[in-house]
Amino acid sequence: MSGARTSPGAAVLAVAAVLLAGLSCFHSGAEAIVCYDCNSEYDPRCGDPFDPYTLGQIDCGERQSLDHLSGANATLCRKLVQRTAVGVKTRVIRTCGYIEEPGRDGGCVSRSGTHDVNVLYCSCKGNLCNGAAAATAGPLLPLAVSAVGVLVAAASLGRRLS
């Protein structure tokens, strides 16, 4: 099999490009997050199963800051599932989130309140991540993408050097 040989320098550049692309997934600059913004009380497509087509999305950076949060900016997406006594009524709310709970990114926490209301709060940090069933962020995805890229580049380099 004949083909153009790649110089080791070009192969190193290819590997570096793949690593840089993978690491860029970890970037968490000042850009605003985009979340689904809906309430199943007013639009049943917001509930589970979720039907995101034609539902509202919001750039959370354009949303007016909340006075009681001292001007904090939205940094995550939220999905709330409210259930009343014995599952009589369920409401799903998807929106921007302002306060992080350390150690809870991509996870959910359940809280019980008065009048037998139970609320499941799920938080995540990716654009439109609150459309998932559990609003998970997939924190290992950037690492997996980087690893696959390195393996592909290494395999390609190995074939060309032999």
Instruction: For residue 99, give the CATH number of its domain.
Output: 2.10.60.10
User: Does any domain span residue 5?
Assistant: no
Tokens of 26: 């970890």
Model confidence at 103: pLDDT above 70: no
pLDDT tens, position by position, 139-153: 444 444 454 455 555
In Å, what is the CA distance from 124 to each residue of 29, 106, 119? Answer: 16, 5, 16
Quick one: pLDDT band at residue 138, thresholds 50, 70, 90? very low
Residue type, 82: Q
Q: How many structural domains is the chain composed of?
A: 1
Tell me how far apart the alpha carbons of residues 72 and 67 are, in angstroms, rounded to a whole number: 9
> Which among 90, 98, 91 has a CA at the least distance from the CA of 39?
91
Across the range 40-56, mean pLDDT stands at 92
Confidence of residue 101 (pLDDT cuts 50, 70, 90): confident
pTM over 0.85: no
